[in-house]
Amino acid sequence: MAAGSISGTEFANQANIFFTLSVKNNDTWDLKSSPHDRNEVYLTKRCSVEVTDNTQASTNPNIAEEEEADAQESDVACLATPPSPSSSVCQFEYHIVYSASYGVPVLYFNAYTKAGKLLSLDTIWNSVPQHYQDRFQHERWSILTQQEHPILGRPFFQLHPCHTADLMSKLIPNSCSGNYLLSWLSAVGPVVGLKVPLSYVTR
């Protein structure tokens, strides 16, 4: 196993640990099994995210998480403040799926307007915080791509896993120690508006 990568079994164990943390923190991550293989698990979450065109914004949008009042809804609001006139609230669906090819988790997601229209790849890229845009400018379409979901077979946006093992080898030198999935999501989630509540690491 390459440095910074984990096995499918380790991913399943990490997913169960992360799901337990989600329940303890009243978050809405769900742990699901593949319809093709019960031993293949993945995590899902839906939430509302304030989307701003950061190619013209001088500051990053303030995206934070708070639970919606309606307990019947599976969505969770990620907004600390009402959207500004130049931004809009969109529904994001995030999936964490294991890639056997790369030996790492992969973040898949789709984003929709309130009317149910799928956001374009350009719109998604423009909503990425400016410092990430600057960092990935020359490889933007290799980092952020649209691919078929490996389990559901539907088009999803994807944060490409090509650099994940290298990133994780620096964050967690020994991949099997610590909470690999939590560390990974804390590092990559903010690129596409997904933040891990501080309570995950303080409780």
Residues identified as active-site: 162
Instruction: Tokens for 179, please give them.
Output: 């909470």
Token reading at 40? 């293949």
Interatomic CA distance for residues 159 and 183, integer angstroms: 16
User: Do residues 106 and 5 lie in contact, with contact meaning Cβ atoms separated by under 8 Å?
Assistant: no
Q: Which of 84, 85, 65 is nearest to 76 (CA)?
A: 65
Q: How far apart are CA 188 and CA 194, in angstroms?
A: 8
Integer CA distances (angstroms), 34 to 13, 16, 54, 121, in order? 15, 14, 36, 26
Which amino acid, residue 103? G
Q: How many residues does the chain have?
A: 203
Q: Which of 67, 111, 59, 109 is nearest to 86 (CA)?
A: 59
